[in-house]
Structures are given as C-alpha cells and as structure tokens.
Structure 1
Amino acid sequence: MVRKAHTKSRRGCMSCKKRHVKCDELKPRCSHCTRLEIECHYADTRSSSNITSYGNSPLSDPVASPSTPGFSTNADGTPSLPIPELKLLHFWLLNTSLTCSAKSHVAIYQSVVVELGFQHPYLLHGIFAVAALHRATITTDSAERKRLIHQSTAHYDTAISAYRRLIETPDPATCVPVFLLSGLLHMHILGFSQVAPPVDAIDEICTWIRVIRGVGSSINPNWERLRTSEVAPVINAVAGRERVDRSQDSEILPLKDLANEVADQESRDVYLKAIDELHAILLSVRLESHSDDRWTIPMTLSWAVVIPSQYLDLLTAHEPVALVILSHYAVLFEYQRRSWWIHNWSKWTQEAVHQYLDESLWKWTEWPRSQVEHGIR
C-alpha cells in the first residue's frame, strides 16, 4: 500500500511548540505565526542551554499573557473595570452560548458554565477565547478583527496552559470545569480556521484530537459523577452512540475490507476499532439529525475519545488507511456545516486527505467526497 512521505522536525518555532502544532520552519516567520500575526521566535540550536520554553521567550506582544480577569485600581483610587473582558462576556451570553449545544442545553452555557468560570478562572479564559474568536468571524472591521484574534489567542494560551496542568494531576472536584474547558478548547481550535484557513487540516485535526483525548484522565474515572452533575444533559448527548443498534448497515463498514489488507496485526486491529466506532457514531448522528432539537456535534467529536490512541499516531504519519477513515469521518462535519466553528471543515479535511493519499486509493473516498461536494443525501 503506497504512502506519501511524511517528515517530522523538532526545530520549529517556540509558538508552535507551545501550541503543539506542526511548524513549517519558514523564516523569519513561520506560516502559523503569520496566521496569528504574532512574533516568531526560534530557539538557538547551537547550544541546548539556550533553549527555553515559549512561555519564557521574550515576546513583545503585550496581550500574550493576560492576567486573570478582575478589578484593578485607577490612579485616583477608584476601581477600574475590565471592559474588554466584560464585552466578551456580554457577547458570550447573547451570541456564542447559543452555538455551543442543542437549544435545550443553551441555559447550561449561559448560566452554569459562566458561574463555574467565576469559580475556576481557567474556564473563564476559555469562554473569553471562544467569544473573541466568534466575534472575529463576523466583524467587517479589519482592525477590530485583528485585535479580537490577538485577544482570543492570548486567552486561549492561558486556558490551554492551565488545562495541561489540570489533566496531569486529575482531581474529581474539578472534573466538570475541566470537561467544559476541553469543549471550549476544541471549539477554538476548529473555529480559528474560520479566520485563518488551516495550513495543514490534518495537523489541525490531530491537534484537537490530542486536546479532547487529554481530558480522558479526568473524565473516565468520574464518568458517573459527570452524568449526575449540572452538565448531565451535555454528557448524555456525548453518549448517544451507546444507544444505537450497531447491527445496522452503513457506508462505513466496507472500510473493513481495506483495513484487513493491512499486514501489521496491531495496526489492523486499530483500524477495525476506529471503523466500528465511526459506524456507530454515523448511525447515531443520522438518527439524531431527524429530531426537532438536532445537535450532533457532541457525538461527532466523541469519536476522537473512543478511538485507540495508536490511530492518532497512524494519522499523524499519514498512513493510507488512517487517511481513508478520516475522509469518511469528515462526513460528520457536513451535518453541522452551518455552525460557525465547524463550517468548511468537511471540505478542508477532504482536500487534505487527497493531498496525501495516493491516487490508487481514491476509489475508497468516493462516497465521502460526494457527500461533501453535493450535500448529505
């Protein structure tokens, strides 16, 4: 089975290393930093002692590390209000919260999530990051858009830094806000491409899969606790695939024939497991898409959590079967193409798959391509 060459380098810039995305190493500024319109710093490779983390690099952008939102004091001693953050919170309540879940769950994002954000500032940073990004996608003022992107990126960096620390030392007491933060982070990762199309869609997908999978250490041991918490309706939406009859047929199952051609037993088993889970989720999404309160994104994104971790390694290496499976997964994005942060991802994914997939295997992606090009049928 032919696979196009894939290379990996550890000489990327500090910004890409911090955000765990692939750097194309263009100088003086890589493509990722160009998209973000931030300064691009490379470590001095002549001496390992000079290599520091991005968080310690001498960035000149004053919004790169926002403090936790709060009140400061003016020169005359009167309280100073954090107006930029208050504007974002206002926008979140009136607009962005309506795009996070099904209509029946909106109150959770307008009330419960915000209240938890006041208790856990990292969640509040996640709210601000997504709200600023959402505003950036709809403003027609280029200067305002640039400012919002900077603001969003700064809050995202603060939120994801806290997120990584939290999942390293899981605490049952914070499983709910950490779960909610993971959702906001993947909204931001996918949504950012709406203001700056991805350089490599597959690399971006791998990034948000890692973010979503990272929350497993906090969620898995506390699953029942989450299902009885104030965010239980959101949790139950994620679990939709558990209720589906897997004996039904779907366009996903023929992929098993392709997977069974893989010589390596371990890789073959990984592919078969990923296909089984994708089959179940597609059936669930189709069932849910006919309901009055349809919202299939939680089920769509749950695939990233239930697939074997080795699949992500195979996808990162652009292994052919992994790419074909991803092509079929992209059909699920098409069901929510009107969402501001999902829009275009089905198309970007298909284009990226065909960039790396050998032409001899294109026949395996005819169905997903037709669904994306002509709409769900």
Structure 2
Amino acid sequence: MSKALLYLSILCFYLGGENCFAQQIVRGFVVDSSTQKPIEGAAVFFDKTTYGTITNKNGFFVLKSREQTKSPLIIRYLGYQPEKIIDPPQQKNVKFLLKKKEEGLEAVWINTKHQKKEKPKKLSDENEKYEALSLFKYFFLGTRFHIYDTKILNEDALDYYITEDKLQIIISAKEPLVIENEYLDYKITYFLEGFVLYRKMSEIVSKPVTDYYEYHGTALFKDLQKPGRIRKKFRRRRNEMYYGSRLHFMRALANNELENHGFKTFNIEADSINIQTITKEDFTEVLPPKESLVIHKIDMIHIKRTKNQDTIKHYIKSAASSIHAKRNFGIDKMGNFFPWNALIFEGRFGREGMARALPLDFNPYPN
C-alpha cells in the first residue's frame, strides 16, 4: 500500500469509515456552447439535496457529496437551457456546455395522453389567476402539516394557463421559486419544470373538480438560519417529518427492510402483500403492482384495539398511502426514485408537498 493510500485509510477511519470512500466529487468548467466563454455564477447541484455550489469567474466548480447517489447533477444559469447529467464523471475536470434558450418559449407542461394539441390560453383575469394560485399552493406546498409556515417568496414568477375545455390548469415559472419553510428551517430553490392540474366535470355541481395533479422540477435545499448549526427544535421536527414519510419508505424499500422500519404493504383490497425488488450494483429495481397501499406503524395504533378483520381493512384503506405505478422504477440508497413520473401518490404520501419535504441526503438525528 502506498503512503498516500495509507494516510487516506487512517483519515477515513477517524472520519467515520466507509463514508470517506463513498464520497462523490465532481469538478469541471461550465461554458457557453457557442462562444466557449466561461459562465460565472451558474448553479451546480445534486437534485433534491443540500449539495450545491456555484461556478467562479473561470466557470470552474468543485462539488462534493458524502454519499453516492443516482440523483442527477443539475447545472442551471438564467437564460440558458438547464443540463441534467445522470452519471457525471468523477475525480476529473469535465467541460459542461450550456446552450442559450430560444426566445418566445411558451409554457412548459407535463406530457400525458390527456394533453391537448392546441396551446393552452394564458389566464389574464385576476380572479382566475388567484384561484389557480390557490390550487397550486394547496397541492405543491402540501394539503396539511404546517403549510402556513411554508411560503413562496416570489409568487409573481408564476404564469397560469388553461386549456380550452378548462379541464387542465398549467403553471410554469419564469425564474426559480424561492421557498422558505420556517417550521423545518429550510430554504428551497425550486426550478419548476411543469405543473398540471387535471380536472373533471362534477356530477354534483356544474363546474370542474380536481381529478389528479402532476408536477416536476429540480431543487436545492439549504438551512434557513445557521447552516451546520441546527437548533434542537428543528432537529426534532425534521425527525418527526421523516418517520413514516415517502422518503423513509423509499429508503426502506431500496434496502428490502420495510418491516424493520415499520411499514406494511397491501393490495387494493387491504390484503397483505410483498413488493418485489431486484438488487442491482448501485440501485434497487422495483417491480410494483399497479396499485398498492402503504401504512406505517405510526398510523396503525388504533388497529390494535380491534380484531375485526373488516374494521381493520376499512382502517387501512382510509389511513394508508396509495401508490399507483405506471411502470417499474429504481431507487438508490438515498431514497431517490426514478424515473420521476413512474408513480402517482395519494393519501399521506400525496399530501406531503414542500411543507414536508426533506433533502435526499437527510439522515435522522440521534435522540
């Protein structure tokens, strides 16, 4: 063993063992694809984590993360098309090219089989815009759990569109959304790539009602108050949000430890099932049923009070999270699942939103 490797091994031992070797280091230059000139101030980060940096005057950056992740590397700069790199090269300088955006781009919305071919109309009526904003915040920030402590600081960055049949509301953003979550002490920079609210005509009232929604984007988390010095109450709150959350479930599923982490899975009839997984080299492939229910022990307290199977099944259906799977998907050890549109969540998981969001590199604090 060389001296350098020996010293590194000793250092790793004192810093916590294997995490030292699991570290990711990506470095390189961000330049304009046409002029080859460096871009200063470009945001470079691993999606939905706290790992982020900006480029210097030479367009250079070094980005480090403590864990290996399948979360893509995101590079963004105002006026340029964002770059998403799934498996960025490590430990060597790489040139990343950014292309300037075309002028006059219309709203971006999520492509689905229900999408109309004609362009949606931009809302101009203030009452309609207010209604669209209220719906957006209700689903994007979350429908419960301290939503009023979570604020979008630049709501004026949002544009609102509606299709001719009024069954789709599409929302895009002209700039990154800045979100402050005072309850969890996070500042989130969210790059919204598309939000669509799908509606259907109500059988009770003569107006559209929400059917389901989808949104997609990339995010960078930072501590709101004092980075690196988290107060005890925020540690407690973050832990409370984590246990039983979608992130907690995904990590447990990736490690085939659902039961050890207090999760149980059921089919749509509330009969117990196991979700099949295949362990790969750096992620877990999941072969899910089309519909499944997930419940955590936190939500199963009342089940112990009855032995009636019909009552138990009714409780599971009402308290569980519902997962609708469109296809197989993968999960890495951090709980990052991909592709993003493989699943639709309802119930507890579907209500989480930005008000309950935790970064992918979050680890529960010791008691």
TM-score bracket relative to the smaller structure: 0.3 to 0.5
Normalised TM-score (structure 2): 0.32
Question: Which is helix-richer, 1 or 2?
Answer: 1
Question: Which is strand-richer, 1 or 2?
Answer: 2
Larger Rg: 2
Normalised TM-score (structure 1): 0.32
